[in-house]
């Protein structure tokens, strides 16, 4: 009876160890039109730290890439807004207390060029920030160690557009020169059960101890 209870503990702990922090991610994208498409541009998801070819290491925001690609990377995750946040697509603002995951999307061509492209996410899109002032005000959602080179032309121009399609995709049409066009997409956190790190560590220790106990008892039975 004791062995069966121990086995039950192990079986109960194992699924709990698979949970982690909730986060939403960019899962893909395409360049489908504009000069960027005709010149071989593609969508590239970046990983941190940013290995940008130009400018300061791990920086973004002012001629640091200068290519025909549409880029994106994930920023802060599972972040609770401390105050209302102004947005430009998806309503006028997101209320304080809203939990968001943030993603940075940009087009930084080497010369005057246009792009039409899509970016896909694994969670529902809440809002998009496109106005330069709103971008600057939302930089607290950026990655802590990434240098955001703020400038007065970072957002989209009046002739540019970005829309939400199907809940989890954006369609961007933009024309840019120096310093490029930049937007921030805010999504819901993915539906992963969040387990605080100390709790996960305790569960791991409990699971390992139970498995060791089972192994010792099995060995003792074989000796007897």
Q: Quick: pLDDT tens for 132-142.
A: 999 999 999 99
How large is the angle between the packed helices 197-223 and 2-16, nearest 10 degrees? 150
Question: Do 123 and 188 contact (CB within 8 A), yes or no?
Answer: yes
- pLDDT for the residue 154: 82
Residue 7 has pLDDT above 90, yes or no: no
Structure tokens that stand for 201 in this block: 């560590």
Cβ pair 45, 29 in contact under 8 A: yes
Looking at residue 178, its pLDDT comes to 86
pLDDT at 215: 54
Task: Identify the bridge partners of residue 181 per DSSP, sorted by sequence position.
Answer: 107
DSSP 3-state of 27:
strand
The answer to whether the CB of 24 falls within 8 A of the CB of 105 is no
- Contact present, 128 and 164 (Cβ < 8 Å): yes
Q: Rounded to an integer, what distance in angstroms lies between the CA atom of residue 167 and that of residue 123?
A: 8
- What share of the chain has pLDDT > 70, as a percent? 74
pLDDT tens per residue, range 196-207: 445 444 544 545
Question: Are residues 16 and 196 in contact, defined by beta-carbon separation less than 8 angstroms?
Answer: no
């Amino acid at each position: 009876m004791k062995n069966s209870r121990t086995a039950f503990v192990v079986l109960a702990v194992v699924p709990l160890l698979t949970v982690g922090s909730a986060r939403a991610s960019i899962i893909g994208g395409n360049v489908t039109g504009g000069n960027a498409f005709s010149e071989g541009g593609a969508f590239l998801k970046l990983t941190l730290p940013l290995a940008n070819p130009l400018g300061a290491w791990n920086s973004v925001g002012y001629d640091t890439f200068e290519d025909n690609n549409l880029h994106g990377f994930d920023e802060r995750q599972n972040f609770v807004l401390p105050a209302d946040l102004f947005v430009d697509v998806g309503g006028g603002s997101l209320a304080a207390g809203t939990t968001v995951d943030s993603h940075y999307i940009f087009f930084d061509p080497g010369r005057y060029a246009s792009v039409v492209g899509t970016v896909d996410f694994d969670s529902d899109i809440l809002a998009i920030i496109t106005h330069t002032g709103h971008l600057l005000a939302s930089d607290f959602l950026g990655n802590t160690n990434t240098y955001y080179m703020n400038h007065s032309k970072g957002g989209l121009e009046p002739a540019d557009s970005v829309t939400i399609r199907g809940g989890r995709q954006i369609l961007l049409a933009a024309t840019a020169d120096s310093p490029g066009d930049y937007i921030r997409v805010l999504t819901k956190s993915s539906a992963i059960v969040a387990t605080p790190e100390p709790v996960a560590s305790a569960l791991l220790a409990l699971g390992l101890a139970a498995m060791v106990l089972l192994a010792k008892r099995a060995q003792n039975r074989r000796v007897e």
